[in-house]
Amino acid sequence: MVLLLRACAALAALAGCAQAAAISRSSYEDGTSLVQPVYKPLDLGSVKPLGWFKDQLELEAAGLSGNMFDFYRFVNDSKYIGGSTEYSGLDEASPYWFNGLVPLAFGLGDERIIGQVKYYLDYLLDHQQEDGWIGWETTQATRGLWARCLLLLGLIQYAEADPTQTERIVDAMHRYVVLAHSMLQNNYTGLLVHGNDTYDTAGFGVGRTHEMHIPLQWLLERYPRNNSEIIWETMELMVEGGVLWGADWRTFWTDEAYPHVLYETTPFDLSWVFIHGVNMAQGLRYPLSLYLNSGDKALKEQTRKAVDLLAEYHRSLAGTIIADEYISDLNPSRGAELCIAAEVMFSSAYIYQYLGDNDIADWAEQTAFNAFPVSVSPDWWSHQYVQQENQPWSRNLTTDDLWWDVNSYANVFGLEPNYPCCTVNHPQAYPKFLANSFATTPDGGLAHVFLVPGTAAATLGSDNPVFVSVNTTYPFGHTLTYTLSASQPFDFYIRIPTWVHPSRSTISTSSTNTSTGVTSTTSTTLSPSPDDSRNLQHISVPAGSSTTTLRLSTTPRVVRRANDTAAIYYGALLYALAIEHDAVAVPPVEYRSGNVLPPSTTDPHGHTHDYVLTPKRDAKWNLAIDPTQIHVVRRSRGSSPSAFEEHKDDVLEVSSDELKDPIWDLGAPPIELRVAAVEIDWPVIMDTAADPGTFDVTPVGKPFYARFVPYGSSKLHMALLPVVQLDDVDFDASD
């Protein structure tokens, strides 16, 4: 998030229109209702983590996310809680933090974190101003609506998770919405900058006007309190103001307008707002947000179009959007901002709930299991601002010329290696993914949609409390065991990812008849619904207690990219060349000056560091591969735990005790791939690996097998490599 674009004379003028137009009439009619989701998430707190995913959330709570409240200046000394530090006129830092920490607190049920968000909630609501403003700003110049969207997103989650707070949160939201409505009616005050207003000089808020929709739609549906028309009009005014400014995402997500490839030298006629990666990850939700109000099917179709355009031109191998901070092409050495991965996870989960398309849920998992964890250190105390998919080192580069608007320090793991937005916004990713991992279905059933281990408690219909517990090491292993209980029969569904081979996968169900005490077991191959793209496996769950085990079959997949390059996936995981590294901890630096940060904003217990990661002496990163020669290996369970043995089954069965904690660390996942490879002369350009496919591939020396590991576990890695044909490699040679 940087306010000035360098060397981009071709960019359209920053500010949009000069004159705001008259307000159109509201389309609200009595009794209007919103479009309903296909899969409706459960209220926050209903889903709890288990297994490796619980370990991750606990690490998050014990790491930077769960501790920055106690020392990090943009949270600890935030103006929202009586402090004096904000990083920009957007005043968005602690609102981002709140939006992410609320689901962490209640997803884990962690009393310490609940204490943090409760303190913030109390301060916020106790200091709501006379006129309804939420926040500390008192002048028109400083009162921007944008950060309120984040506060409201945090508030609605809080209201769901803790019924004792619902009433006062809803009261506060109603008072606020009346004020926001009157501001917007007054020439879009708080949204469009007038005169000396300082709250949004670049246009971040005005490019994200739809972000008010989710909390206001929630309020409208659950607690309208005779205020529906005001709530409705507030959403419309937000969007109208944005349109007047020139930030109408409906004009962007089209085949004609969407920039297929973009460089600083490409002449184009688009607002910078549309080509900014984080904006795009959020802007994916724009047509859908509007669709929910209008029911206009074209907006639903445009949501699908937006997903497809991004997927084709800018989605990275790991699931995020390549944008540093602006999109360019798919060069795997370009950067992808951590906030983008967090926002993509939220957008894809949200869009999936309304469209129901299976590939969109796969996308959420792809980002959650690859792009997100790779940029966070195993202990959750440091993170990168941008990741590179081909990243042979992580240190202050000698130049930032490769990137549009990101500094040379941005791929360092640290406290605020570049703009602090990622420090405060990354915490939302995993907790929201957990909350969205189960959902109810239109026929009154329950579905497990993101296949991480956890439990879900829900009441189906008016009086059928059900409880589901899923024990799995997914995505490291491909088996899932469900324990289900209910007082009445219900329909349960499991989402089958697109890469599963159904005819080689099995499902077995075992239940005990409550009256006869007889246990029956059935076992068949998978038969996910063939009639649509939803790919759900249906299970008729009887009253009482039952168990179901799924064994998903799949094999490694090679994805070819331009100019004879390829990447390798196995299940939901991208596998990348492992690069063993040395890590040197250095004191964390301030994002703008590069000066060492004072102790007043770093962890008093010494956990905050920046890290220089460099390949070990004999670690090779400059390889070409022959992806026709891939072997799956797994860590031996026997006497020598560092040895690997070949894995030959269709179904990858990995037990919980085979997963180390932390799991996103080199060598922690028990499954690896061995891929035929050869060293090549790989040029270094602008202090990083040149774009594969743009230089001649000249093998050096003899072929051997290279070690490929889950991308998220290898902080230094190469994911997109040139393809060559190699002689048969001896996979039994020891490493």
Nearer to ligand NAG, 470 or 539 (CB): 470
Enter the tokens of residue 615. 């390949």
Nearer to ligand NAG, 80 or 346 (CB): 80
Cβ 232 to ligand NAG, closest distance in Å? 15
**Any contact of residue 81 with ligand NAG (CB under 6 A)?**
yes
**Any contact of residue 19 with ligand NAG (CB under 6 A)?**
yes
Nearer to ligand NAG, 478 or 534 (CB): 478
Cβ 69 to ligand NAG, closest distance in Å? 5
**Any contact of residue 35 with ligand NAG (CB under 6 A)?**
no
3-state SS of 653-687?
CCCHHHCCCCCCCCCCCCEEEEEEEEEECCCEECC
Q: Candidates 443-451, 544-552, 686-694, 726-734 — which segment interacts with ligand NAG by CB under 6 A?
A: 686-694
H helical segments located in 252-294: 277-283, 286-294
**Any contact of residue 192 with ligand NAG (CB under 6 A)?**
yes
**Any contact of residue 76 with ligand NAG (CB under 6 A)?**
yes
Cα dihedral 363→369→374→380 (10° resolution):
130
Q: Candidates 17-25, 246-254, 575-583, 727-735 — which segment interacts with ligand NAG by CB under 6 A?
A: 17-25
Which one, of 104, 34, 24, lies nearest residue 69 by Cα?
A: 104
Question: DSSP secondary-structure letter at 299?
Answer: H
Nearer to ligand NAG, 240 or 691 (CB): 691
Cβ 471 to ligand NAG, closest distance in Å? 4
Nearer to ligand NAG, 442 or 594 (CB): 594
Cβ 62 to ligand NAG, closest distance in Å? 16
Enter the tokens of residue 726. 């190699």
Which one, of 438, 304, 412, 311, lies nearest residue 367 by Cα?
A: 311
Nearer to ligand NAG, 457 or 619 (CB): 457
Question: 589 to 608, contacts with ligand NAG by CB under 6 A?
Answer: 589, 594
Question: DSSP secondary-structure letter at 450?
Answer: S
Q: Candidates 63-71, 263-271, 363-371, 702-710 — which segment interacts with ligand NAG by CB under 6 A?
A: 63-71
**Any contact of residue 396 with ligand NAG (CB under 6 A)?**
yes
- The residues near 118 (Cβ < 8 Å, ≥ 6 apart) are none
**Any contact of residue 562 with ligand NAG (CB under 6 A)?**
yes
Nearer to ligand NAG, 399 or 522 (CB): 399
**Any contact of residue 327 with ligand NAG (CB under 6 A)?**
no
**Any contact of residue 70 with ligand NAG (CB under 6 A)?**
yes
Cβ 482 to ligand NAG, closest distance in Å? 10
Nearer to ligand NAG, 479 or 713 (CB): 479
- The residues near 42 (Cβ < 8 Å, ≥ 6 apart) are 435, 438, 439, 440, 456, 457, 458
CB 53 within 8 A of CB 448: no
Whole-number Cα distances in Å, 701 to 425, 678, 728 = 46, 7, 14
The residue of the chain with the least Cβ separation from ligand NAG equals: 195
Binding-site residue total for ligand NAG (CB under 6 A)?
29
DSSP 61-118: HHSHHHHGGGT-HHHHT-GGGT----SSTT--HHHHHHHHHHHHHHHHT-HHHHHHHH
One of 39, 53, 69, 569 touching ligand NAG (CB under 6 A): 69
**Any contact of residue 196 with ligand NAG (CB under 6 A)?**
yes
Q: Candidates 170-178, 187-195, 573-581, 630-638 — which segment interacts with ligand NAG by CB under 6 A?
A: 187-195
Which one, of 616, 619, 615, 651, lies nearest residue 634 by Cα?
A: 651
**Any contact of residue 20 with ligand NAG (CB under 6 A)?**
yes
Which one, of 100, 63, 674, lies nearest residue 435 by Cα?
A: 100
Beta bridge partners of 291: none
Q: How far apart are CA 260 and CA 275, in angstroms?
A: 11
One of 513, 655, 698, 725 touching ligand NAG (CB under 6 A): 655
CB 75 within 8 A of CB 86: no
Nearer to ligand NAG, 260 or 702 (CB): 260
Question: 503 to 532, contacts with ligand NAG by CB under 6 A?
Answer: none
Cβ 484 to ligand NAG, closest distance in Å? 12
Q: How far apart are CA 203 and CA 273, in angstroms?
A: 7
**Any contact of residue 735 with ligand NAG (CB under 6 A)?**
no
**Any contact of residue 187 with ligand NAG (CB under 6 A)?**
yes
Cα dihedral 663→668→670→672 (10° resolution):
110
The type of residue at 287 is: P
Q: How far apart are CA 514 and CA 492, in angstroms?
A: 19
End-to-end CA distance of the chain: 44
Q: Candidates 192-200, 335-343, 356-364, 506-514 — which segment interacts with ligand NAG by CB under 6 A?
A: 192-200
**Any contact of residue 195 with ligand NAG (CB under 6 A)?**
yes
Q: Candidates 67-75, 276-284, 351-359, 660-668 — which segment interacts with ligand NAG by CB under 6 A?
A: 67-75
- The residues near 19 (Cβ < 8 Å, ≥ 6 apart) are none
**Any contact of residue 251 with ligand NAG (CB under 6 A)?**
no
**Any contact of residue 71 with ligand NAG (CB under 6 A)?**
yes
CB 191 within 8 A of CB 238: yes
Phi/psi of residue 560, nearest 5 degrees: -90, 140
Nearer to ligand NAG, 51 or 528 (CB): 51
Site string for ligand NAG, 346-385 (x = CB under 6 A): ----------------------------------------
Site string for ligand NAG, 689-708 (x = CB under 6 A): --x-xx--------------
Site string for ligand NAG, 607-646 (x = CB under 6 A): ----------------------------------------
Give strand ranges (E) for 504-639.
506-512, 519-525, 536-541, 544-551, 557-561, 565-570, 573-578, 581-586, 610-615, 623-635
**Any contact of residue 733 with ligand NAG (CB under 6 A)?**
no
Cβ 558 to ligand NAG, closest distance in Å? 17
Nearer to ligand NAG, 72 or 253 (CB): 72
**Any contact of residue 684 with ligand NAG (CB under 6 A)?**
no
**Any contact of residue 398 with ligand NAG (CB under 6 A)?**
yes
Cβ 384 to ligand NAG, closest distance in Å? 14
H helical segments located in 186-276: 213-222, 228-245
Give the Cβ contact number of residue 119 at 10 Å.
Answer: 12
Q: Helix, strand, or coil here: 301? A: helix
Nearer to ligand NAG, 498 or 694 (CB): 694
Beta bridge partners of 522: 509
Question: 453 to 492, contacts with ligand NAG by CB under 6 A?
Answer: 471
CB 244 within 8 A of CB 17: yes
Nearer to ligand NAG, 195 or 638 (CB): 195
Binding site for ligand NAG (CB under 6 A): 18-20, 69-71, 76, 81, 187, 192, 194-196, 226, 396, 398-399, 408-409, 471, 562-563, 589, 594, 655-656, 691, 693-694
